[in-house]
Chains A and B, each alone.
Chain A
Amino acid sequence: MAMGIIVFLWSPGTEAKDFAFPEIAGWKKSGDAQTFIPKTLYEYINGAADLYLMYDFEELKVMEYENQKKAQLTVDVYRHKTPLHAFGIYSQERLPKTNFLDIGIQCYYEEEFLNFLTGPYYVKISATNTRPEDREALITFAKKIAESLGPKGSIPSLISVFPTEGKEKYSEKFIAKNFLGYAFLQSAFTADYQIQNRKFKLFIIEGKDKNACRDMIEKYLQTIKSPRKDMAEGRLTLSDPHHGDLDLQWQGRYLWGILNLNEVSLRLKYLKLFEDRLTKK
Chain B
Amino acid sequence: MNRRNFMKSGLAGVGGLLLVTSRPKETKATQQKIISRTLGNTGMRVPIVSMGMVSVGNQGLVRAALDAGIVYIDTAHTYHRGQSEELVGEVVKGRSRESYVVSTKVGFGRAAASMITGLYTAEATEEAFLKNVDVSLKRLGMDYVDILYHHNPWRRESALYEPALKAMEKVKKSGKARFLGVSYHRNEVEVTQAAIDSKLYDVIMIPCNFKQKNYVEVRQAIAKAANAGLGIVAMKVMGGIPAQDPLKPFNASAALKWVLQDSNVHTSVPGFGTFEEMKIDLAVMEDITLTDSEKDYLKTASITPGLYCQGCGQCVKQCIAQLPIPDLMRAFMYTYGYQRPAMAKELVVSLGLPSRLCEDCGTCPVKCSIGFDVPRKIQDVARLRDVPAEFIV
Interface residues of A (CB under 8 A from B): 1-7, 9-10, 12, 16, 31, 34, 37-40, 42-48, 50-51, 53-54, 58, 62, 64, 72, 74, 92-95, 126-129, 175, 177-178, 180-183, 223, 240, 242-243
For residue A70, which residue of chain B has the nearest CB?
A: B122
Taking the closest CB of chain A, its distance from the CB of B131, in whole angstroms, is 12
Q: Determine the chain B residues whose CB is within 8 A of the CB of A39 once the complex forms.
A: 240, 310, 312, 369-370
Per-residue CB contact flags for chain B residues 345-374 toward chain A (1 = under 8 Å, else 0) read 000001111100000000000000110000
Q: Determine the chain A residues whose CB is within 8 A of the CB of B314 once the complex forms.
A: 37
Q: Is B97 on the interface with A (CB-CB < 8 A)?
A: no
Q: Is the CB of B186 within 8 A of A180?
A: no
Q: Is the CB of A126 within 8 A of B109?
A: yes
Taking the closest CB of chain B, its distance from the CB of A76, in whole angstroms, is 8
Q: Is the CB of B185 within 8 A of A177?
A: no
A10-B322, A243-B60 known; 17 new pairs, CB 8 Å cut-off, are: A6-B324, A6-B352, A10-B324, A34-B115, A37-B314, A37-B369, A39-B240, A43-B185, A45-B110, A48-B76, A50-B54, A54-B241, A128-B109, A128-B123, A181-B64, A181-B273, A242-B61
Taking the closest CB of chain B, its distance from the CB of A70, in whole angstroms, is 9
Q: Determine the chain A residues whose CB is within 8 A of the CB of B58 once the complex forms.
A: 180-181, 243
From B236, B275, B323, B327, give the contact of A182 (CB < 8 A).
B275
Q: Is the CB of B327 within 8 A of A51?
A: no
Q: Is the CB of A242 within 8 A of B64?
A: yes
Task: Count residues of B near A (Cβ-Cβ below 8 Å).
Answer: 58
Q: Is B313 on the interface with A (CB-CB < 8 A)?
A: yes
Interface residue stretch chosen among B78-86, B138-146, B222-230, B290-298: B78-86
Per-residue CB contact flags for chain B residues 102-130 toward chain A (1 = under 8 Å, else 0) read 00010001111001100001110000000
Question: CA of A60 to CA of B41 in the docked complex: distance in angstroms?
Answer: 40
Q: Determine the chain A residues whose CB is within 8 A of the CB of B154 once the complex forms.
A: 43
For residue A94, which residue of chain B has the nearest CB?
A: B81
From A37, A45, A64, give the contact of B312 (CB < 8 A).
A37
Question: CA of A4 to CA of B317 in the docked complex: distance in angstroms?
Answer: 17
Q: Is the CB of B351 within 8 A of A51?
A: no
Q: Is the CB of B115 within 8 A of A47?
A: no
Q: Determine the chain A residues whose CB is within 8 A of the CB of B183 once the complex forms.
A: 46-47
Whether A6 touches B313, Cβ cut-off 8 Å, given contacts A46-B185, A72-B111, is no
Q: Is the CB of A242 within 8 A of B370?
A: no
Interface residues of B (CB under 8 A from A): 52, 54-55, 57-58, 60-61, 63-64, 76, 78-81, 83, 105, 109-112, 115-116, 121-123, 151-152, 154, 183, 185-186, 235-236, 240-241, 271, 273-276, 278, 310, 312-314, 316-317, 322-324, 327, 350-354, 369-370
Q: Determine the chain B residues whose CB is within 8 A of the CB of A127 once the complex forms.
A: 111
Q: Is the CB of A9 within 8 A of B351?
A: yes
Question: CA of A49 to CA of B313 in the docked complex: distance in angstroms?
Answer: 18
Jot down 18 A-B pairs with beta carbons below 8 A, ordered by A: A2-B352, A9-B324, A10-B316, A10-B322, A38-B310, A39-B240, A42-B185, A47-B52, A47-B76, A47-B79, A48-B79, A50-B240, A51-B79, A54-B55, A127-B111, A181-B273, A181-B275, A243-B58
Q: Is the CB of A128 within 8 A of B79?
A: no
Q: Determine the chain A residues whose CB is within 8 A of the CB of B64 once the complex forms.
A: 181, 242
From A7, A51, A93, A183, give the contact of B54 (CB < 8 A).
A51
Q: Is the CB of A43 within 8 A of B186?
A: yes
Q: Determine the chain A residues whose CB is within 8 A of the CB of B352 once the complex forms.
A: 1-6
Question: CA of A1 to CA of B236 in the docked complex: distance in angstroms?
Answer: 43
Q: Is the CB of A6 within 8 A of B369?
A: no
Q: Which DSSP category, helix, strand, loop or mixed, fits chain B's interface?
A: loop
Whether A50 touches B312, Cβ cut-off 8 Å, given contacts A127-B111, A129-B123, is no
Q: Determine the chain A residues whose CB is within 8 A of the CB of B327 once the complex forms.
A: 9
Question: CA of A141 to CA of B238 in the docked complex: distance in angstroms?
Answer: 38
Q: Is the CB of A6 within 8 A of B322?
A: yes
Taking the closest CB of chain B, its distance from the CB of A144, in whole angstroms, is 19
Taking the closest CB of chain A, its distance from the CB of B369, in whole angstroms, is 6
Q: Is the CB of B116 within 8 A of A34?
A: yes
For residue A40, which residue of chain B has the nearest CB?
A: B369
Q: Is the CB of B110 within 8 A of A74?
A: yes
Question: CA of A58 to CA of B311 in the docked complex: distance in angstroms?
Answer: 11
Q: Determine the chain B residues whose CB is within 8 A of the CB of A72 once the complex forms.
A: 111, 123
Taking the closest CB of chain B, its distance from the CB of A77, in whole angstroms, is 14
Q: Determine the chain B residues whose CB is within 8 A of the CB of A50 once the complex forms.
A: 54-55, 240-241, 271
For residue B56, which residue of chain A has the nearest CB?
A: A181
Question: CA of A5 to CA of B327 in the docked complex: distance in angstroms?
Answer: 13
For residue B235, which residue of chain A has the nearest CB?
A: A47
Question: CA of A31 to CA of B115 in the docked complex: distance in angstroms?
Answer: 11
Q: Determine the chain B residues whose CB is within 8 A of the CB of A42 once the complex forms.
A: 185-186, 236, 240
Q: Determine the chain A residues whose CB is within 8 A of the CB of B61 once the complex forms.
A: 181, 242
Taking the closest CB of chain A, its distance from the CB of B112, in whole angstroms, is 7
Whether A177 touches B273, Cβ cut-off 8 Å, given contacts A6-B352, A9-B327, A128-B112, is yes
Whether A47 touches B323, Cβ cut-off 8 Å, given contacts A37-B312, A74-B110, A93-B80, is no
For residue A46, which residue of chain B has the nearest CB?
A: B152
Q: Determine the chain A residues whose CB is within 8 A of the CB of B370 once the complex forms.
A: 39
Q: Determine the chain B residues whose CB is within 8 A of the CB of A4 once the complex forms.
A: 352
From A34, A53, A74, A183, give the contact of B274 (CB < 8 A).
A183
Question: CA of A137 to CA of B317 in the docked complex: distance in angstroms?
Answer: 34
Question: CA of A12 to CA of B317 in the docked complex: distance in angstroms?
Answer: 11
For residue B78, which residue of chain A has the nearest CB?
A: A48
Q: Is the CB of B60 within 8 A of A181?
A: yes
Question: CA of A38 to CA of B271 in the docked complex: distance in angstroms?
Answer: 17
Q: Is the CB of A38 within 8 A of B55?
A: no
Q: Determine the chain B residues whose CB is within 8 A of the CB of A31 once the complex forms.
A: 116
From A6, A54, A180, give the contact of B351 (CB < 8 A).
A6
Q: Determine the chain B residues whose CB is within 8 A of the CB of A183 once the complex forms.
A: 274, 276
